[in-house]
Structure 1
């Protein structure tokens, strides 16, 4: 009888893990498209394929990786790089906090693993899955997270490898992709925003502060401070408007 119970539990856990893998499948094209770009830009920034694979596995955050490559290629100080990546990834604290209601029955180690492998995509899938019953099994979450993690690493490695096969002249011409990528991200967020006036003010304030303070210290730190002040101003204005 005990053997039957253990077998049933193992089967249930395996089934939950496979269900998590299946839930991740619709998001994989997104990981591959962005991962290819991240790997290619990493190569353009002077990193080897092995280094890009290690960064993809350890950092595991698309926006943070793009930021890391661009700052490193620009010769930014290490403190600026670390602080910038930390600020970009702060949103995962909020995501993990909101997911904690589903993790009440997890052990400390299980909570750490689930939180460390959380991304924007897996967060959205997990919340949609767990909201009706108010809980998520660890096996399901592990299947979801591990599938996304492995696909991200493979996509970054493939992008890095393909970038190394390009001619040197073309590689040099693609250097502007670091700048154009961030311009594209800003425009994409601006067009998707329902508060375009506020977004425009935010960008304008950040640019103005950067231009005024550009000669007073490290440019990378100035950009971080300018972006933080502009975001703070936009938040205060939004809260004031809602209060009215």
Structure 2
């Protein structure tokens, strides 16, 4: 039966689930909500798809196409779709909003005045449209992905960034307590599909103009929006609210 935000004790449930495996957290999320979907773009997300698919082959998955992704990322999305024989709901930015931004500032304004405006048009707005149709969503956030912005990520939370009083939204982060090594151990052990860019030194993969490979000993987020301060390395999809 689908739950509502007001019916959930987030503090108690987070305390309970934070000691459990990601598989157990995914299973609980799918049991609590019927209208729930996995947000898919990277290695963490396909691990979640693999876990969820083994629980319910009809799991709902969506992805954001910003129009600026690497060719390898588009190939990855299609490979995952075929591997699990699932439908992936691809969300696109509003053409008029993209056109207005490009006409006013060109294609690379983010190098000059920050990435938030472009991400707002190409990622946050499409995500907001999608989340408005859901009661809950599952993400691949990990605490160690960004110590400055994600260190306190819980395994379950009321989404204050995209939920509203009229439409409350619940957010699950089953991999919050996993490391990158945990993710890749799972991928290799179970032969889960992954983006071929990882073989070329890319760890955290976003849009092509805003992503570069990282050097040995660099943190994975250093390859994202490298021209900006570390505390700004979020696009708005996971606002800490």
TM-score calculated relative to the size of structure 2: 0.26
Relative contact order, higher structure (CA 8 A, sep 6+):
1
Q: TM-score when scaled to structure 1?
A: 0.25
Which is greater in Rg?
Answer: 1
Greater per-residue helix proportion: 1
